[in-house]
Amino acid sequence: MGRRVTSEDPQLTLREAQDEVDHWIQTIGVRYFSELTNLAQLVEEVGEVARVISRTYGEQSFKPSDEKVELSDELADVLFVLICLANQTGVDLTDALKRNLDKKTKRDATRHQQNEKLK
């Protein structure tokens, strides 16, 4: 394991994030939850993001219990569980994202420019 990443670090690569989450799981979290449990956790966290966005940018109002909730924290919860799933299933997120962006670039090279709904 390389350097320890802190909240003061200006940047964090996906590889470092995967290593940091794994270190946290091994030292504080005891072990990874099962993949199915983490999938349920991911869905739950995405629901919390949806709640914040619907209250911030949509028509719903905040409940008193939701007023101090921050979108950044909820997105970080999603990212944490997503990284857990990647780690426990052997997915290198850096490689996966690069391949995904390449696929989208080739597939959608002109598609969005030609979409009248986006103009």
Give residue-wise pLDDT tens across range 107-116: 988 888 888 8
pLDDT tier at 67, thresholds 50, 70, 90: confident
What pLDDT is recorded for position 2?
57
What pLDDT is recorded for position 65?
82
What pLDDT is recorded for position 29?
95
Higher pLDDT, 37 or 64: 37
d(CA 4, CA 81): 20
Higher pLDDT, 39 or 66: 39
Q: Which domains does the chain have, with CATH numbers?
A: 14-108 (1.10.287.1080)
The CA-atom distances, in angstroms, between 78 and each of 32, 55, 81, 83, 118 are 15, 18, 5, 9, 28
Taking the CA of residue 34 as centre, how many other CA atoms within 13 Å lie in the half-sphere pointing to its CB? 3
What pLDDT is recorded for position 3?
59
What pLDDT is recorded for position 96?
97
Per-residue pLDDT reduced to its tens digit, 28-56: 999 999 999 999 999 999 999 999 999 99
